[in-house]
Structures are given as structure tokens and as C-alpha cells.
Amino acid sequence: MSYAATGIAVLVVAVIAWLGYRLVEYRANLRFERWKAVHSKAISRDAIKGSQAAVSGRVFERVAPYLPGFAFNPRDVRFIGDPVDFVVFDGLAEGNLRRVVFVEVKTGAGDLNGNERRVKSSIVERRVEWQMYRVPAEQAAARGNGTANVPQR
């Protein structure tokens, strides 16, 4: 066999391999487009439902103290939002603080996330304490007379 014939044979094999690759790629794209046409509406619908659930969950977090069945006086409730929704100072509005309660609001089948579980664990294990931070006098004085962070000339 001559060099020319060998070159042509190699070229033919390369062209056939390239055409085979392109055919497989075309079939894969065709299958994907069919799958996408069938499933894209369901995927969009699920995404919209998830978004609506998240938004409604945030709304219910804010209005929960005013809903029937909420166990505390809304005037005793302070919204935090993250990592828990509320701190309730039960009885504070009547001048008789009975307890401090952390409340997490969930809708549907929602469950605690990692941070919420860690906060709950800390509270249940009584790893909770009171601290007071006193602002240094020079900082308080600077803030009080409007000179804080103002360059002096």
C-alpha cells in the first residue's frame, strides 16, 4: 500500500469517527430537548411553589403573635428573625415576668435548620446567660455631643 493510500485511509477513518461523534452528540441534544420540553413546566412550577412557600413563611413569622392559638401576649414578643424568630418576655406587659421563651415559627412541614437546632440545644442544655455591656464613657460622650467620627481641624 502506498503512502497516499494510507493517508487517504486514515483521513476516511478520521472523518467517519468525527461523523459518528457528531451523530451521538446530536442524538443526546435531541433527547435533552425532549426531556426539557416535558419537564420544564414542572420544574418551573416547583420553583414557584418553593418561592411562594418561603415568602409566606416570612410573612407568617411576622404576624404569628397575632394569629389565633399563639400562646403569648403580642406585647411581650420581640422579633429577632435569625437564628430564632422571637424572644418572648412572658408576662412583662403586665409587670410580672414569668419566663423568657425563644419561639421559632414554621409553616407546613418545615423543620429546624442547623443554626436553629444549635440554638435550641444550647437553651435546652441551659447554656444561656445574662450579660450587660457598658459603653465606655468617652464613646458615650462623643456620641452624645455629635462629635463622634468627626475629624478635628
Per residue in 39-62, pLDDT (tens digit) is 777 777 777 776 766 667 677 778
Q: Per the structure, how many domains does the chain have?
A: 1
CA distance 50 to 56: 10
Is 82 within the bounds of a domain? Answer: yes
pLDDT band of 145, cuts 50, 70, 90: low
Is 135 within the bounds of a domain? Answer: no
Q: By residue range, what is the domain housing residue 80?
A: 71-124
What pLDDT, in 10s, does the model give residues 89-144? 999 999 999 999 999 998 877 789 999 999 999 999 999 999 999 999 888 887 76
- 151 has a pLDDT exceeding 60: no
- Overall average pLDDT of the 61-89 stretch: 92
pLDDT of the residue at 152 = 55
pLDDT of the residue at 99 = 96
pLDDT band of 1, cuts 50, 70, 90: low
Is 75 within the bounds of a domain? Answer: yes
Is 39 within the bounds of a domain? Answer: no
Q: Higher confidence at residue 99 or residue 21?
A: 99
Is 24 within the bounds of a domain? Answer: no
* Residues in contact with 116: Cβ distance below 8 Å, sequence separation at least 6, in sequence order: 83, 84, 104
Is 110 within the bounds of a domain? Answer: yes
Closest by CA position to 59, among listed 44, 76, 81, 77: 81
